[in-house]
Structure 1
């Protein structure tokens, strides 16, 4: 994914880029390399993305358990939850309004320290 982001940044350097990343959790993951992949991709996200929305994998499972009352959520359930988050964040870009009408205004209002 990070190679694709860097290539898009090279082609369109003046465009704003927002990404959504699911951060792994040791409680719900059985794959050993997930933390390494997440750690190694952070540098590329900082360099090539203007906004990155990090979604905690453990929090997704907790929401499915506590709120949606799903004992064993499938990937489809988790993807539906993430798509609802993405839809909510980008609503101001898809519908007319005065607040956060484009990605730059959204970044100005949501990112207090851009290079932190």
Structure 2
């Protein structure tokens, strides 16, 4: 569903920059069998249809909650809070005035060492 939506948006707006935030699954957080397959199969569409893809490791989020935030049993709300902090941090330069990385194109130029 997500990659279909991204491809439809790309068809409608081919000249616009598109950034995605993808959470990579982990058996430590969820035991759903199909999550790794969904993530693996969606990578091709993300590479083809988005200009920037930020991958967030679910297991790393879980470890941050356990070690840094000292939460014994992190909930999805705790993990989502960390994801929102990452998204906010990455897009700060787009929301506030400044010279460096003031739009998605400049952000991509400065962050991607080997563009396609």
1:25 shift after superposition: 1.7
1:13-56 Cα offsets, whole Å, 9 max, x none, are 00000000000123332011001000000000000000000000
Q: Structure 1 CA distance, aligned partners of 2:91 and 2:66?
A: 26
Aligned mates of 2:23, 2:38 — CA distance in 1: 11
User: Offset of 1:114 from its aligned partner?
Assistant: 2.1
Establish whether residue 4 from structure 1 lines up as the match of residue 5 from structure 2: yes
Hey, what's the Cα distance between the residues in 2 that align with 1:19 and 1:114? 16
* Counterparts of 2:51 and 2:31, CA distance in 1: 31
**For residues 41-85 of structure 1, what are the alpha-carbon distances to aligned partners after superposition, in whole Å with 9 as ceiling and x for unaligned?**
000000000000000010000000011111111111111100000
5+ long unaligned stretches in structure 2? none
Segments of 4+ moved more than 4 angstroms: none
Alignment partner of 1:31: what SS? coil
What TM-score do you get using the length of structure 1 for normalisation? 0.96
Give the whole-Å Cα distance in 2 for the aligned partners of 1:76 and 1:11.
33
TM-score (norm 2): 0.96
**Where does structure 1 lack aligned partners over 5 or more consecutive residues?**
none
Give the 3-state SS of the residue equivalent to 1:55 in structure 2: strand
Corresponding pairs, count: 115
Distance 2:59 2:15 in 1: 35
